[in-house]
Amino acid sequence: MPEQTEELVLLEMLDHLLDRGVVIAGEAVISIGDVDLLYLGLNIVLANVDAVMRVSKR
Amino acid sequence: MKSLVIGAHLLRDDVEPVAQALAVGDLYLSAVDIENDQPLGDRELLLRVAAIRAKLLDVATFVAIRYGFTAGSAEEAQWKCAAHIAQWRRVLTAHREHVEMTLKTAAAAPRARPDRRDFTSGADYLRALHDATQSATADPELRAAAEELIEPLAIKHRWIHRDEKSVELAALVPRAQIDAVNAAGAALQARCPDVPFMLSGPWPLEVFADDHE
């Protein structure tokens, strides 16, 4: 198999491993773009991390 | 030690001896043992888990669980997964002989990715990101050819948007049709030689794991 094809297959495998499948609630910290992080917890909180930190400091 | 979970399976024999089996209700999770301080982003671990995932799919179709889910014990895995078990049993029973195949292609006219600095509101930014992602469309010629060549081989199919630059056709196909789907991919390449795309699979239940029949 040519090296470039092998790399593509490996990348595709890793893409499916890291970015697909069922997300178990309470387990995910998700990055969007290169700026924001979302925290997904127990199907209750879906919020910007900055906002969560602000609220938690009150 | 803790267990890094890979997928949910109908039978213990679908998991062992390829991976460790954790009983959750009447289903089984496949997992590998890792040290508590093992970084999940470690290259060797990622490659090891990707290889085990492929071997597990050779044995039987399973529900893929997003990488990173860990449990310290079978009891912890049980309560964390409790809400999913009935749905997993349903799809695992319905789709034991089916696998997913994915056709990924570049968006025909991608919209520019929104810049966070252009938005004062995080909600508006997320909405713009969502809109940019949803606006991605495949090359019309490729889409028409894929619908003609691949969709008839699928039990279910869905065009999905993951980002603003690409779009994917996910197809749930019988294992017996994998070669036919690959042949359809070759025919698609001959028909649309100038449109880059990648047909990959088989994959476990990823896109269709949450479907309610």
Contacts of B207 in chain A (CB under 8 A): 20
Predicted model pTM: 0.80
B211 domain residue, yes or no: no
User: How far off is chain A from B141, nearest CA to CA, in Å?
Assistant: 24
pLDDT in tens, B54-98: 999 999 999 999 998 999 988 889 988 988 999 999 999 999 999
Q: Which of A1, A22, A49 has the most B C-beta neighbours within 10 Å, making it the best mutation to test the interface with B? A: A22
Q: Which of B53, B47, B38, B60 is nearest to B5 (CA)?
A: B53
Residue corresponding to tokens 């297959």: A9
Write down which residue in B52, B69, B94 finishes a domain.
B94
Domain count for chain B: 2
Nearest-by-CA chain A residue for B69 = A27
- Helix, strand, or coil (residue B47): helix
B56 and B128 both lie in a single domain: no
Write down which residue in B59, B94, B129 finishes a domain.
B94
Q: Give me the interface pTM, i.e. the ipTM.
A: 0.79
Helix axes A3-19, B43-59, angle to 10 degrees: 80
B154: containing domain = 98-203
Dihedral (CA of B153, B159, B162, B164) sign: positive
Does the distance separating the beta carbons of B203 and A36 come in below 8 Å? no
Write down which residue in B54, B78, B94 finishes a domain.
B94
pLDDT in tens, A1-43: 567 677 777 888 888 888 888 887 655 444 445 444 444 433 3
Q: In A, what residues contact B, Cβ < 8 A? A: 8-10, 12-14, 16-28, 32-33, 35-36, 48, 50-51
B44 and B89 both lie in a single domain: yes
